[in-house]
Amino acid sequence: MRKVILQLTMRVVLSVDEGVEIADIVSEFDYSINDTTTQADILDTEITDYEIVDSK
């Protein structure tokens, strides 16, 4: 088995209440891209690109 490190680029589609700062939402994302503020609904996510950073 080998260890592989990837750099991911993602597209995330949100439904956000008016007046809510997007930076506040993004800073509270967890690794599975869930909104923990409950002020937005994740409508879609997609990995749009990846790069293999390291593979041993």
Q: How many domains does the chain have?
A: 1
* Residue 44 · residue 15 · CB < 8 Å: no
pTM above 0.75, yes or no: no
Using the predicted structure, report yes or no on whether residue 55 has a pLDDT greater than 90.
Answer: no
Q: Give the model confidence (pLDDT) of 33-46 as tens digits.
A: 888 999 999 888 88
Segments forming the whole domain that contains residue 38: 4-55
Q: How far is CA 31 from the centre of its chain?
A: 7
- The answer for residues whose C-beta is within 8 angstroms of residue 18's C-beta and 6 or more apart is none
DSSP state of 38: S
Distance between CA atoms of residues 4 and 11, nearest Å: 22
